[in-house]
Amino acid sequence: MTLFLLVLLAALVFEYINGFHDTANAIATVVSTKVLSPRAAIVWAAGWNLVGALAGTAVAKTISGGLVDAHAVNMLTVLCALLSAIIWGLVTWWLGLPSSSSHALIGGLCGAALATAEGNWSVLIWTGLDKHGSAIGLWPKVVLPMVSSPLLGFVGGAALMGFLTVVLQKFTPRTVNLVFGKAQLLSAGFMGFGHGSNDAQKTMGIITLALFTGTTSGAFNHLPGWASFLRIPEFKEIPLWVVLTCALTMAAGTAAGGWRIIRTMGHKMVKMQPVHGFAAETTAAIIIHTASTYGVPVSTTHVIATSIMGVGAMKRFSLVKWGLVGRIVWAWVLTLPLTGLLGYGLVRLLHALGA
């Protein structure tokens, strides 16, 4: 039970960090275009994060049972997965790099599960179908979306910006800024909703995996009657208390802000006007919301960043600061393998220490 409480604490710390680490995803553009002040933008994003987090559980189900063999995972596995994601999130936040909290958690989980299984790679679910006939596994749910969603973000952002450029060419810049200053409130809210609906669910899934592990291992056998809600003998719906706890924690983290990453995403990558922010946010939000509907844990960071790049490239290719983009891409590429190694190493270290 003590180990589960540590897992729960680590999960909530991760969710809080995810909130302020990925705040930039929802509000960097609306802040950089001066449509909202930083404080107002954070409140706006936190509210929509909360609504989005309560909107469904498809992504949570993917994390809890669709990536690694849940029967080969123990409480220590889950704890090490979370610790690796927390470490990576704090390091990249300190460096101001908008890396993926989603991929950090997935990489940590895979590495920790592999170490728990003594190097047996079959513990990782590469592809398959669930009991409803829906695709599960790392290939369809993580690897393919990791490549396709940024491409869709770049192409979609460029296409929408190109369309708006043609449609708005007869209007004065003052009129365009006035109209899209209002419209960007909607697109920023939609982006906040998408972030909450996808990212908050990942922690819901990892807590549910811990509950299942504690139940099947017998760790919860001697709980008092009032704590019976912790027992999950099989995967069904994500418990309501888990949904509410994660939603509120992410909203609190979002409210804390993440100014280092906001500066990178909203100011350093490309200079934007409200119409550019609207195009980037709308493109990203549509992609993320669609992924959430199908239970795909995409990186909100990847999608909004590439949408901004696409919009900037359409504005003028040379305006995008491609050197900074290169640093961001390296952070993306390294996230899964490094957090996987970190999760693996933490399990091995704790085993060596007698845990």
Nearest to 85 by CA among 6, 1, 13: 13
Do residues 5 and 252 make contact, with C-beta atoms less than 8 angstroms apart?
no
Q: What is the pLDDT of residue 26?
A: 65
Mutual orientation of helices 75-95 and 173-217 as an angle, nearest 10°?
Answer: 160
Hey, what are 315's tokens? 């504005």
* C-alpha dist (Å) from residue 352 to 302, 311, 345: 36, 50, 10
Phi first, then psi, for residue 102 (nearest 5°) are -60, -50
Phi first, then psi, for residue 124 (nearest 5°) are -90, 130
Nearest to 111 by CA among 342, 324, 352: 342
* C-alpha dist (Å) from residue 142 to 18, 255, 337: 18, 28, 13
Hey, what are 167's tokens? 């449609």
Q: What letter represents residue 47's amino acid?
A: G
- Token pair 């891409």: residue: 329
Query: Angle at Cα 300 formed by Cα 333 and Cα 111, nearest 5°?
Result: 45
* C-alpha dist (Å) from residue 106 to 121, 199, 307, 346: 15, 12, 23, 15
- For the chain, 355 residues long, the average pLDDT of each consecutive 10-residue run is 90 88 69 79 86 90 88 92 92 77 92 95 90 85 90 94 94 92 91 89 92 88 82 81 92 73 56 87 94 90 86 78 71 88 96 88
| Domain boundaries of the chain, sorted by first residue | 2-347
Q: What is the pLDDT of residue 235?
A: 66
